[in-house]
Amino acid sequence: MAFHTRSNSFPSRPHPLFQEIDEHLCRLKSSEATSTSSSSISHKLSSLQDLHDCVDRLLQLPLTQKALAQEQHQKWANELLDGSLRILDVCSTSKDALMKTKENVQDLQSIIRRKRGDESAVLKSEARKYLISRKTVKKALHKALGNMKGMANRSSSSCNKDQETITIVSKLRDVEAVTLAMFESVLSFISGPKSKPYSWSLVSKMLQSNRIACEEETKVNEFTEVDAALKSLKSGDNTHNQLNNLESCIQDQEEALDCLYRQLIKTRVSLLNISSTTRY
């Protein structure tokens, strides 16, 4: 079967949404080399939501739907569907880690607020439970990070098909790669500075400022501060303040992740709708 190098159904000039997506991608790539504070993580998640909103609008365009719904492009459409599911899984892992940690934080806060004389032993017991739970959470996060490394190293199939469809698919693959890179930052932030991020070409700038980033993360990472405080329990009041800071941090990230998750679901539904109309 022969394929034309240019389809008459496509405009000669790129749709403005392509430029908008490129701008979001550039901002997100640049942000990967900057602060790893809680506010920075929340901002990245919000920026990801904006990016995937653009992607969903791109998927609603007749030219995109016509390109991806063709039988000869079914493999590409399926690859994009698989990618959207991988991203949803990583997002769910992040949400679960935050939810579990928040539950443990609230248990500890309840004990500290009571401040009875016999609560010291109980607090130490709950602190041990918290640290054990954190160990389980970190293990799950490290596993997710390892799986993401495998995703990033997957090779993309190449075909001599029409250039317009190649442009669309390449753009959506770029979105997937950058989204996974952002989630690498999120998972590493939640698990703590000991996790080892993998190297992608799009985040290579991180290596140049690794020492500075680690120093900053040690100062501002609320998860790490609570881990250290509960290992020593030298000051109940200070621990209570750190738990409050961590709960606030988790709340901000949960809200951002919830909004992003809903947008990711919407984007996946759009891909599923396109896939269901494949022409045979």
pLDDT at 124: 84
pLDDT at 177: 92
pLDDT at 139: 92
pLDDT at 216: 44
Residue spans of beta strands (DSSP E) within the chain: none
Amino acid identity at 70: Q
pLDDT at 24: 94
Tokens of 12: 């000669």
Tokens of 260: 């992003």
Count of H-run helices and E-run strands, the chain? 10, 0
Q: For tokens 């998640």, what's the residue?
A: 45
Kindly give the parts of the chain with pLDDT less than 50: 1-11, 155-156, 158-160, 195-219, 280
pLDDT at 204: 41
112/211 Cα distance (integer angstroms): 35
Q: Are 274 and 77 in contact (CB under 8 A)?
A: yes
262/180 Cα distance (integer angstroms): 17
Q: Are 82 and 66 in contact (CB under 8 A)?
A: no
278/56 Cα distance (integer angstroms): 18
258/271 Cα distance (integer angstroms): 20
pLDDT, averaged across the chain: 80
Q: Are 192 and 221 in contact (CB under 8 A)?
A: yes
Whether the full predicted model's pTM is greater than 0.85, yes or no, is no
The beta-carbon contacts of 137-144 under 8 Å, at least 24 apart in sequence, are 137/97, 137/100, 137/101, 137/190, 137/191, 138/191, 138/192, 138/195, 140/93, 140/96, 140/97, 141/93, 141/97, 141/187, 141/188, 141/190, 141/191, 141/195, 142/191, 142/195, 144/90, 144/93, 144/187
Q: For tokens 């890179």, what's the residue?
A: 181
For 63-90, what is each residue's pLDDT tens digit? 899 888 887 888 888 899 999 999 999 9
